[in-house]
């Protein structure tokens, strides 16, 4: 959520309407993922007991119901909505780069577009039972794109925060007391 907020603040000047709308999507994705996990973990002890104490039929029911009773079984909220947020933020970042605004580089925006496509591929692959697409998107996104995006985003936001603070301190010291 802090990264969603920081990127929204950073890109607000470029396209305020789209950024506000995308920010809501980002918050929904985070909240949906959190609620799904809390729901999943709240049933875990009960399901474990039924599975361990039950016969084959009970074990099969627990396995089947594990997926079916999740709040977001096909990951449309966690990955799909987050992918839409990332897509819209990447588009705005490209607009900012084209205007030579010193916010996020175009390379970051293109990496974000790739991440958005991979995030959107997860619920599509789960809904359509496309195993190869799920493996490709999960593997490529989880082991390559997401770590690169996270490191690049963190470093860029840290740099912008530091330079912003330095400018504020310089402005304060330049003012007469």
Contact predicate 148/111, CB 8 Å: yes
Q: What is the pLDDT of residue 125?
A: 96
pLDDT at 102 over 70: yes
Q: What is the pLDDT of residue 173?
A: 58
Q: How many Cβ atoms from other residues are within 10 Å of residue 116's Cβ?
A: 22
Query: Could you tell me which residue, 18 or 48, shows the higher pLDDT?
Result: 18
| DSSP labels, 55-101 | -HHHHHHHHHHHHHTSSSTT-IIIIIIHHHHHHHHHHHHHHHHHTT-
C-alpha 143, offset from chain centre = 15
3-state secondary structure of 26: helix
Interior angle at CA 83, CA 77 and CA 88, nearest 5: 125
Q: How confident is the model at residue 83 (pLDDT cuts 50, 70, 90)?
A: very high
Least confident of 20-24, 137-141, 172-176: 172-176
Structure tokens at 92: 């705005």
User: For the chain, what's the residue count?
Assistant: 177
């Amino acid at each position: 959520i802090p990264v969603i907020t920081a990127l929204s603040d950073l890109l607000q000047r470029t396209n305020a309407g789209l950024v506000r709308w995308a920010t809501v999507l980002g918050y929904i994705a985070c909240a949906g993922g959190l609620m799904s996990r809390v729901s999943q973990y709240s049933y875990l002890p009960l399901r474990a007991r039924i599975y361990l104490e039950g016969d084959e039929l009970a074990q099969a029911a627990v396995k089947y119901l594990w997926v079916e009773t999740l709040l977001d079984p096909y990951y449309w909220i966690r990955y799909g909505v987050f992918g839409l947020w990332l897509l819209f933020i990447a588009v705005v970042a490209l607009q900012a780069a084209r205007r030579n605004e010193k916010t996020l580089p175009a390379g970051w925006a293109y990496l974000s577009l790739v991440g958005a496509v991979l995030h959107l591929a997860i619920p599509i692959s789960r809904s359509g039972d496309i195993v190869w697409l799920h493996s490709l998107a999960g593997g490529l996104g989880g082991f390559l794109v997401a770590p690169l995006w996270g490191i690049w985003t963190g470093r860029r936001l840290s740099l912008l925060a530091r330079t912003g603070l330095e400018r504020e301190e310089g402005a304060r010291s330049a003012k007469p007391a």
